[in-house]
């Protein structure tokens, strides 16, 4: 679905983290709906490099971009020479900043701040130099254990990732006072959908439960999963919010969720219906009690007002739309 009327002819768009989950979906949105735009994807792509927790440092994967016809640059947003090259040799109209160390369990505080905060400020300066509107990924992790519904201004990050995203928001607010470009931070809640598989263990439980069921395994849920609620949002609505953020009514920080909290039990029940399975759930003790959010729900009224955003997908509709992709990925990547 096309979310804006502009044809974007001859407009130049930079997508950082463009080989990742959300960035690659953005790249194909523009290719499919605005083919006359020039889209440049920047990603560090994955190597064997890992964080101290054993997870990959970069989740960018070439398979997420198969079929993409725009320009692709392999590079690190911490590379100041690369950013200088982008400033001198390109002329961007819009920058979608999705690149980050996004692993919420990462312990490398220095790398997290350098990549998520310091490099973001450099990219903001690039946006100002090009007079390019900036749309960047913030996160619901900024709220930590704040009570639902989560509202901008009630932040309490519990890990360095959430802290880094809140720091990005604080920098953005300072720039908003001084520059003419629009700057929009989008606080994503629990996102699921196409191209998330290469996030490995950090992929959504929608995908993970789907693959458990396809493997004939009983889905494992924490005890009381019918009472553990999250604001799960489909990738299509994330893309909608990003596109509408290109020309906001005003710069700002906005929640991007559905405004409805659903349970992990709901996910399994809907998947079983769509996959035609009837496997018994196994309920295991929750080892994270005391450090685990039992309820997230985005307050999206300001997002509706400021961006004209309106979530389109209920969980039932989204999983029905997604299940074919879950099956494809299982067949091609898992089996």
330 as an active site residue: the answer is no
Q: Where are the beta strands (DSSP E) in 127-219?
A: 133-139, 183-188, 190-192
The two tokens of residue 248 are 């906001």
Residue of 94, 120, 143, 161 marked catalytic: 161
The three-point CA angle 255-242-232 to 5° equals: 50
Query: Which residue in this structure is represented by tokens 């499919």?
Result: 32
- CA–CA gap between residue 156 and residue 148 (Å, rounded): 12
161 as an active site residue: the answer is yes
Residue of 199, 244, 254, 322 marked catalytic: 199
Q: Can you tell me whether residue 31 is helix, strand or coil?
A: helix
Of 58, 23, 56, 29, which Cα lies nearest the Cα of 41?
23
Distance of CA 31 to the CA centre of its chain: 19
Distance of CA 215 to the CA centre of its chain: 27
Query: Which residue in this structure is represented by tokens 């990732």?
Result: 161
Question: Interhelix angle for 315-329 vs 205-214, to 10°?
Answer: 60
Catalytic residues: 161, 199
């Amino acid at each position: 679905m096309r979310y804006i009327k502009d044809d974007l002819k001859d407009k130049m768009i930079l997508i950082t983290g463009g080989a990742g989950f959300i960035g690659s979906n953005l790249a194909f949105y523009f290719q499919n709906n605005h083919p006359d735009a020039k889209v440049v994807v920047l990603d560090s792509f994955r190597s064997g490099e890992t964080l101290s927790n054993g997870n990959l440092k970069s989740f960018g994967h070439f398979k997420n971009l198969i079929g993409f016809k725009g320009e692709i640059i392999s590079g690190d947003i911490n590379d100041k020479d690369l950013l200088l090259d982008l400033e001198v040799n390109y002329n961007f109209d819009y920058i979608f900043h999705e690149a980050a160390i996004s692993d919420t369990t990462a312990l490398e505080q220095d790398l997290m701040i350098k990549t998520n905060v310091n490099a973001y400020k450099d990219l903001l300066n690039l946006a100002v130099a090009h007079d390019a509107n900036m749309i960047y990924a913030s996160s619901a992790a900024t709220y930590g254990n704040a009570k639902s519904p989560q509202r901008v201004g009630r932040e309490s990050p519990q890990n360095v990732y959430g802290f880094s995203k809140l720091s990005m928001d604080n920098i953005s607010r300072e720039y908003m006072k001084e520059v003419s470009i629009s700057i929009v931070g989008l606080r994503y809640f629990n996102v699921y959908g196409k191209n998330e598989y290469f996030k490995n263990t950090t992929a959504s439980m929608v995908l993970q439960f789907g693959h458990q069921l396809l493997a004939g395994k009983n889905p494992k849920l924490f005890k009381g999963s019918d009472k553990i609620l999250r604001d799960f949002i489909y990738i299509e609505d994330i893309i909608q919010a990003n596109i509408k953020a290109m020309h906001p009514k005003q710069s700002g920080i906005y929640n991007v969720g559905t405004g409805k909290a659903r349970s992990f039990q709901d996910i399994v029940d809907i998947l079983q219906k769509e996959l035609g399975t009837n496997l018994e759930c196994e309920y295991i003790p929750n080892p994270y009690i005391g450090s685990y959010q039992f309820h997230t729900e985005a307050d999206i009224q300001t997002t509706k007002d400021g961006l004209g955003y309106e979530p389109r997908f209920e969980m039932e509709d989204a999983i029905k739309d997604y299940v074919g992709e879950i099956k494809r990925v299982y067949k091609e990547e898992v089996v």
